[in-house]
Structure formats: C-alpha cells, structure tokens
C-alpha cells in the first residue's frame, strides 16, 4: 500500500501550488488560443496541434510533481529519515518517476518550440527566415532525441536508477547530463525568441505598434529566465538525498514548459478582445465590396473608395520577400465577390481570359502592391 505523506512543510506546499496553478493556466491559455482561432474563423493548423500536445505533456509532468509530494515524500524530509520511518518504497518510486519527468519535460518544450517555429513559417515566408526556422527545428529535434537517449542510457541497466543493489550496474553523472541538456535548451530558447526580431524591426509601421509587437513576440525571454533558474537549482541537487534537495529544481522543471505554453498562446488571443476581429484578407474583402461610383455623377463627392490603412493585425504585417508582388481582384461583374490573391502576372492572365470569353474584366477593382525588403 502506497504511503501518503502529510503536507507539513513549505517545500511541499510550494511544489503543489506551482504544479496545480501552472498546469491549470497552461490549459486555460491553450483553450483561449483555440477559442480565438474559432472566433477568427480559422482552422486549427500544425502549430495548434503541437501546442496541444505540449500542454498534455506539461500537465502530465505536473501530475507527477503532485505524486512526488504525496507519495514519495518530496520536500517532506531527508531520504534517510523517510527510509527509517516508511521503508524504501517511497524513495524507489521517486527515482522511477524521475525518468518520465525528464521525458515529459523534453516533449513539452520541444512541441512548444515546434509550434512557435511553424507559426513563424506562416508569418514570415521570406526564404532566409524559412531556412533559419527549419534549421532551428532540426536543432530542437536533435536536442530532444539526445536528451531522451541520455535519460535512458545514463544508468546501465536502466533499473540501476532506482535499484543501486543490482550487481555490475553503473551510472554516469546524472546531474551533469541534466545541466548540459538544460543549457542546450536555453540556447534553443534564445534562438526561437530572436528569429523574428530583425524582421519586426524593419517593418514600416508606427514605432509604438512596432515596440508592442516586438514585446509580445519577445515574451519568450521570460521563459529563458526560468530556464536559467532551473539550471542554477540543478547544481544543488544531490542523488542520495533527492527528497530534500530536489524540490526547487522540480518547481522550475514543471514551471518552464507551462510558462512557455502560456507565453506562446498570448500573441494569438487578440480576437478575444477585438470586437470584430478581421484578418487583412477579410479587410480587403470588405474594401472590395465598397461601391465605386463614377465621378461624373452627383454622388461622387460622398461615395468613394476609402484608402485601406488597417494594419492592426500583427500576424500579417510582414515582408513578402524580395521584390514580391501582391495582387487583388475583387467584385464580380454580376455582384458576386471574387477575391483572389496572387501575382501581377496571374491577374493579367485572368483579365486576358475574361476578354477572350467576352466578359467584362472591368466589373471590379484590381489592386497590385509591391513589397520590397531592403537589406541594410
């Protein structure tokens, strides 16, 4: 029968509080992000699915943290005191659960980073950014695989992690492997946060909006701080007295992925606070529906096509590559909207085809915009 430890120390309360609150907020953040997607009439994409998986792993990790406190005596007392009073069962269970904690930590963080990087591919389609993003995805995948292998191979046989009495069993320096893995994780965190900053800096928009956008996408720096704190606490962990030395490291190990999930969800929650959330394509569609009357008529002074100046949606304010073209054809001559976004060449071909079919291509509005990225 499992031993149930009373909650009597500050360390126990801290582990439980952080585990419950952070995992709950992570679930709420992902739910709000998905609700925002629904409000904006956008389908879920791979970025969303990866974040959902990250949230599942993070909740699983924090569930183990609760088990640590309740059933293994984490934060309750020194290992020797626990063994003297309750036997070796709680300590054996603790060392067994350390393995899935490390696995869930890796899976949650890597899925969160994949989610963010895939979002970058949708926002910033410039070739240079695409190469950097895919390179970072490969780096994160390699880090995740390496960390998982180290978790399973640091002790041979694996059962030697929790049963040091196995003849011939050996273990490497577990804490060192955790610190190395955490350091590489911190590096990938910084890379993921820094990738969009040069592009955001070059955006032609109001400085206040630019700073706000950079601050929102730069929230990941907070997760980097937590990662640094986690690495710092790992230096204090001692195998042989994990129940007493692990609580602080366990707190940051669970907090880091939950916080990463929350921060990566915040930039996509804007439709929740906008009264009528629109993407630029929606805005273009509305502009296309505006009546355009001849200046010869008396209504010319009051009925005109207003200039489109909506740059409020941060996720679509992006350079479209070197000398890229964006063309818009709208308002079918029979009143049906026909909105297409393509190149200038495709619009020309479309008009030529309409003329050959005896249609009037002048039944709508065609707008061609040129975006140029200037390398400084």
Asked if residue 231 has pLDDT above 60, the reply is yes
327 bridge partner residues? 342, 368
Average pLDDT of the chain, as a whole number: 80
Note the pLDDT tens digit of each residue in 117-162: 999 999 888 888 999 999 999 999 999 999 999 999 999 998 998 9
Note the pLDDT tens digit of each residue in 85-129: 999 999 999 999 999 999 999 999 999 999 999 999 998 888 889
Could you tell me the pLDDT band of residue 356, with boundaries at 50, 70 and 90? low
Of 6-10, 41-45, 285-289, which gets the smallest average pLDDT? 285-289
Decide: 36 and 268 in contact? Cβ < 8 Å.
Answer: yes
Predicted local confidence at residue 124, as pLDDT: 86
Average pLDDT over residues 15-42: 94
Tell me which fold the domain 10-269 belongs to.
Answer: Rhopdopsin 7-helix transmembrane proteins (1.20.1070)
Asked if residue 46 has pLDDT above 70, the reply is yes
Asked if residue 65 has pLDDT above 70, the reply is yes
Of 235-239, 264-268, 291-295, which gets the smallest average pLDDT? 291-295
Burial class (CB in 10 A: 0-12, 13-18, 19+), 187: middle
Query: Could you give the angle at the alpha carbon of 138 between the alpha carbons of 53 and 127, nearest 5°?
Result: 105
Asked if residue 311 has pLDDT above 90, the reply is no
Could you tell me the pLDDT band of residue 339, with boundaries at 50, 70 and 90? very low
Predicted local confidence at residue 136, as pLDDT: 96
Predicted local confidence at residue 112, as pLDDT: 96
Query: Could you give the angle at the alpha carbon of 71 between the alpha carbons of 12 and 107, nearest 5°?
Result: 80
Predicted local confidence at residue 232, as pLDDT: 95
Could you tell me the residue ranges of all domains in the chain? Answer: 10-269
The single residue listed with the structure tokens 């399973």 is 152
Asked if residue 342 has pLDDT above 50, the reply is no
Could you tell me the pLDDT band of residue 368, with boundaries at 50, 70 and 90? low
Q: Which of 235, 268, 276, 265 is nearest to 252 (CA)?
A: 235
- Close Cβ partners of 159 (under 8 Å, ≥ 6 residues apart): 166, 169
Predicted local confidence at residue 310, as pLDDT: 44
Asked if residue 362 has pLDDT above 60, the reply is no
Most confident residue range from 170-184, 326-340, 350-364:
170-184
Average pLDDT over residues 263-268: 91
Q: Which of 151, 313, 185 is nearest to 260 (CA)?
A: 185
Asked if residue 299 has pLDDT above 70, the reply is no
Asked if residue 323 has pLDDT above 70, the reply is no
Of 42-56, 154-168, 260-274, 336-350, which gets the smallest average pLDDT? 336-350
Q: d(Cα 138, Cα 227) in Å, to the nearest integer?
A: 21
Predicted local confidence at residue 296, as pLDDT: 44
Could you tell me the pLDDT band of residue 307, with boundaries at 50, 70 and 90? very low
């Amino acid at each position: 029968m499992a031993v149930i430890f009373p909650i009597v120390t500050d360390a126990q309360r801290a582990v439980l509080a952080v585990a419950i609150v952070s995992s709950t907020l992570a679930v709420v953040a992902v739910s709000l992000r998905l609700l925002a997607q629904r409000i904006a009439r956008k389908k879920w994409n791979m970025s969303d699915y990866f974040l959902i998986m990250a949230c599942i792993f993070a909740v699983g990790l924090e569930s183990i943290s609760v088990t640590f406190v309740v059933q293994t005596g984490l934060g309750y007392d020194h290992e020797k005191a626990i063994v003297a009073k309750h036997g070796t069962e709680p300590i054996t269970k603790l060392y067994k659960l350390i393995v899935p904690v490390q696995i869930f930590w890796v899976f949650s963080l890597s899925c969160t980073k994949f989610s963010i990087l895939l979002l970058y591919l949708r926002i910033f389609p410039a070739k240079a950014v695409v190469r950097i993003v895919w390179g970072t995805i490969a780096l994160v995948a390699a880090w995740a695989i390496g960390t998982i292998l180290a978790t399973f191979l640091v002790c041979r046989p694996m059962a030697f992690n929790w049963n040091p009495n196995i003849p011939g069993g050996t273990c490497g320096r577990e804490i060192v492997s955790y610190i190395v893995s955490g350091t590489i994780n911190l590096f990938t965190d910084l890379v993921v946060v820094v990738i969009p900053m040069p592009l955001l800096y070059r955006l032609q928009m109001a400085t206040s909006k630019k700073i706000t956008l950079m601050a929102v996408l730069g929230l990941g720096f907070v997760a980097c701080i937590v990662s640094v704190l986690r690495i710092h606490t790992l230096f204090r962990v001692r195998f042989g007295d994990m129940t007493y030395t692990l609580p602080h490291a366990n707190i940051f190990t669970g907090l880091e992925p939950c916080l990463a999930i929350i921060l990566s969800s915040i930039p996509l929650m804007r439709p929740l606070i906008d009264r009528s959330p629109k993407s630029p394509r929606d805005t273009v569609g509305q502009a296309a529906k505006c009546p355009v009357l001849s200046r010869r008529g008396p209504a010319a002074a009051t009925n005109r096509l207003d200039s489109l100046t909506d740059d409020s949606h941060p996720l679509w304010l992006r350079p479209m590559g070197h000398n890229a073209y964006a063309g818009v054809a709208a308002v079918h001559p029979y009143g049906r909207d026909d909105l297409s976004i393509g190149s200038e060449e495709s619009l020309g071909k479309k008009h030529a085809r309409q003329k050959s079919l005896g249609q009037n291509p002048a039944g709508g509005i065609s707008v061609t915009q040129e975006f140029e990225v200037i390398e400084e």
